[in-house]
Structure 1
Amino acid sequence: MSEQRKPHILVTGAAGALAHQVIERLRETCDLVAVDAREQVQLGDAIPSYCIDCNHRSFEDLFRRYQFDGVIHLGRIHSSQLTRMRRYNANVLGTQKLLDLSHKYGIRRIVVLSTYHVYGAMAYNPALINESAPMKSAGLSADLIDSVELENLANIYLWRFPELNITILRPCNIVGPGVRNTMSALLASPRAPVLAGFSPMMQFIHIDDIADAIVLAYNKATRGIFNVAPEDWVAYQKALELCGCTRIPVPSVPPILPRLLLRALRLRSFPAYLMEFFKYPVVIDGRAFAKEFGFKPKRPLKEIFRFYRDNKTPL
């Protein structure tokens, strides 16, 4: 009897630390193909890796060659990485191309990684934001339009083509070893700015836990949108204290002043839209995902903060 064929899965955003974690969890049970628009990553002889933009004509060749069964789309470009137009092309048009090809070639499972930032930071946000809440961020910041549009596209395909079995994940702040986002940079810094008079509640999820969540989501074909977050949260200034950061109070008005001071603190990138997230709480309700997929984070806040306390990045 011939050996059963392993599922063929395309993983985008392969140069990121999170994609590496997901690939490590799936490499024994699946045949993986890694793609990143920024660089080609070396993952060993068993995993083909390509540096291709989803909008490039040669991207379709991968679907013909490998006959994918599923897609894990982790290739969302953050606001600090490209100009607004290039980011829109990558996140929105690139995702549309990916979904079109998935439909054309009969893909039966797609997981799309989004972000809790789509909810927007406002003074009147509810204490716990569930998945039915509107995505207000596009009206608050032009830098988040592409994130909302990416989700809107995935939503359209989710309902128009149910056979794709699309699951959209909205995680809270992803942190931990190898994570290179702004929040991780702040927690790893010896000194970190705080907006004077503000210390909103925040949620943090370890990169190991979000990688587990993505694998759980892929392995159970439940269509829909899910927040991914632990059941605990902490005030931002308290988180900095527990990470061993010296807090630098920054006036929140006028808006240009915080950005000037951030440059003085040598924080290389600080997207302007994040200012509101350091004023107002955006605490998301992750219970639906936990119940549906049997998810429970393994890394508590104290372990996350201990890592940053013990691994400070010199200024």
Structure 2
Amino acid sequence: MGSAGRVVLVTGVSRDLGRRFARAVAADPSVDRVVGVDAVPPRGDIGEVSFVRADIRNPVIAKVIVKEDVDTVVHMSVISTPGSTGGRNTMKELNVIGTMQLLAACQKAPGLRALVVKSSTTVYGASNRDPAMFTEDMEPRRVPRSGYAKDVAEVEGYVRGFARRRPDVSVTILRAANVIGPLVTSPLTSYFRLPVVPTVLGYDPRLQFLHEQDLLDVLRHAIGAEVAGTFNVAGDGILMLSQAVRRLQRPSVPLPPFAVGRVGSTLRSARVADFSPEQLGLLTYGRGVDTTRMRTELGFEPARTTAAAFADFAAPLPPTGGYADRLLARVAQGLPEPAPTPGPLTGPVPAYTRGADRG
């Protein structure tokens, strides 16, 4: 484990997981100080964390790292949704340009000893040519051309370049499976919170999850362990989408892929859920990652399996009412009534209404 007196800088602390992680690290007796950095202040209590308002796209971040004597950087601001950032172009800039500036700042910090980057298994993509389980050495079967998956691939490339230039720094890339839990808001948790869950007709993808607490724990573990390398991080086992929907006790509506895309566009424009091309790929083909290296080399074991992580997410879910219900009812006009028993519907797929086409 690392010696006492460490100074940890955490990016992305305006987001809930970044803020919670910074607070957890600040409570660690082996850590002297935690500096939280983001372009906007975090909502909620950050405890003993010193907040520095700085945009990592700006070279001023280098001054923060040197002035604060930072020896460990945890990069958590590679984001999967534009959210409040102002659209896809701003998101790409934050993810890619922000990471480049942060790494340039790390390059100039002689006292830096560890860099931990929260990445995502989205980097592998999702296609009909995928292996049963992706290991860390495998490339995606289809190279992502846009969106979050492309950002993650670029970010990882820059991080590997930094690791080559600074072999004295321990660089750890954590490819987290979809993070899930009662407090997580993400494209996938928004999808599962829909009152009627649209699925892709003829497909039942395999899913893996990582509980939000296990994500915080593996990041803390990585700081202490200082094991360089790239690691898939996911709860043990897989869950089929059909099993997940049944456990939610919500009706599902199987639709052809083009129709799911249209429903997704309507939901996205109404800000109910975000259906990216990556999410549609995942909901069609699924994805499995091998976590052997996480256990044997990194020495980490998530406390919750994929199924247990999903159960914890599903347990407090209230019935969704109001606007989302009305919107889905409009989109799904003409669809058959949900079957009385939970699970996929059977029968022919009805024609789409013109109202849905406009989305």
User: Common fold, TM-score beyond 0.5?
Assistant: yes
Aligned residue for 1:104?
108
Deviates more, 1:180-189 or 1:218-227: 180-189
1:205–1:229 contact (8 Å) kept in structure 2: yes
CA-based RMSD:
2.3
User: Residue deviations 1:33-75, cap 9 Å, x none?
Assistant: 1112344445456321133210224323312321101000001
Aligned residue for 2:316?
310
2:197–2:252 contact (8 Å) kept in structure 1: yes
Measure the CA separation in 1 of the matches of 2:180 and 2:52. 26
2:23–2:46 contact (8 Å) kept in structure 1: no
1:76–1:114 contact (8 Å) kept in structure 2: yes
Matches of residues 118-197 of structure 1 in structure 2 within 5 Å?
Answer: 118-136=123-141, 138-197=143-202
Measure the CA separation in 2 of the matches of 1:40 and 1:24. 12
**Counterpart AA for 2:76:** L
Seen in structure 2, the aligned counterparts of structure 1 residues 15 and 266 have a Cα distance that, compared at 3 Å, is: closer
Q: Give, in angstroms, the shift of residue 264 of structure 1.
A: 9.3
1:195–1:251 contact (8 Å) kept in structure 2: yes
- Alignment partner of 1:32 is 2:37: no
Seen in structure 2, the aligned counterparts of structure 1 residues 108 and 188 have a Cα distance that, compared at 3 Å, is: same
Deviates more, 1:274-283 or 1:52-61: 52-61
Seen in structure 2, the aligned counterparts of structure 1 residues 309 and 164 have a Cα distance that, compared at 3 Å, is: same
Q: Give, in angstroms, the shift of residue 135 of structure 1.
A: 3.8
Gaps of 5+ in 1: none
User: Residue deviations 1:114-163, cap 9 Å, x none?
Assistant: 11011111111111100000145543544532221011101111222111
Q: Give, in angstroms, the shift of residue 193 of structure 1.
A: 1.3
Aligned residue for 1:221?
226
Measure the CA separation in 1 of the matches of 2:318 and 2:271. 14
Seen in structure 2, the aligned counterparts of structure 1 residues 55 and 181 have a Cα distance that, compared at 3 Å, is: same
1:232 match: secondary structure: coil
Gaps of 5+ in 2: 325-359
2:58–2:101 contact (8 Å) kept in structure 1: no
**Counterpart AA for 2:99:** T
Seen in structure 2, the aligned counterparts of structure 1 residues 293 and 145 have a Cα distance that, compared at 3 Å, is: closer
Matches of residues 277-292 of structure 1 in structure 2 within 5 Å?
Answer: 277-292=282-297
Measure the CA separation in 2 of the matches of 1:313 and 1:297. 29
Measure the CA separation in 2 of the matches of 1:153 and 1:22. 24
**Counterpart AA for 1:25:** A
Measure the CA separation in 1 of the matches of 2:132 and 2:106. 37
Q: Give, in angstroms, the shift of residue 5 of structure 1.
A: 6.0
1:202–1:282 contact (8 Å) kept in structure 2: yes
The percentage of aligned residue pairs carrying the same residue is 25
The TM-score normalised by the length of structure 1 is 0.90
Aligned residue for 2:95?
91
**Counterpart AA for 1:87:** M
Measure the CA separation in 2 of the matches of 1:292 and 1:56. 35
Aligned residue for 1:72?
74
1:288 match: secondary structure: helix
1:148 match: secondary structure: helix
Seen in structure 2, the aligned counterparts of structure 1 residues 307 and 278 have a Cα distance that, compared at 3 Å, is: closer
RCO comparison, higher one (Cα < 8 Å, 6+): 1
Aligned residue for 2:329?
none
User: Residue deviations 1:260-297, cap 9 Å, x none?
Assistant: 56459963322133111111121001110111232222
Measure the CA separation in 1 of the matches of 2:167 and 2:9. 19
Work out which of the two has the higher radius of gyration on C-alpha atoms and give 1 or 2.
2
Q: How many correspondences in the alignment?
A: 312
Seen in structure 2, the aligned counterparts of structure 1 residues 69 and 260 have a Cα distance that, compared at 3 Å, is: closer
Aligned residue for 1:49?
51
User: Residue deviations 1:75-119, cap 9 Å, x none?
Assistant: 112244343332222111111111111121121100001110111
Measure the CA separation in 2 of the matches of 1:8 and 1:227. 26
User: Residue deviations 1:179-222, cap 9 Å, x none?
Assistant: 11111122233322111111110001100011111111111111
Aligned residue for 2:210?
205
Seen in structure 2, the aligned counterparts of structure 1 residues 231 and 56 have a Cα distance that, compared at 3 Å, is: same
The TM-score normalised by the length of structure 2 is 0.80
Deviates more, 1:116-125 or 1:235-244: 235-244
1:118–1:147 contact (8 Å) kept in structure 2: yes
**Counterpart AA for 1:34:** G
Determine which of 298, 301, 304 is the counterpart of 1:296.
Answer: 301
Seen in structure 2, the aligned counterparts of structure 1 residues 47 and 245 have a Cα distance that, compared at 3 Å, is: same
2:80 match: secondary structure: coil
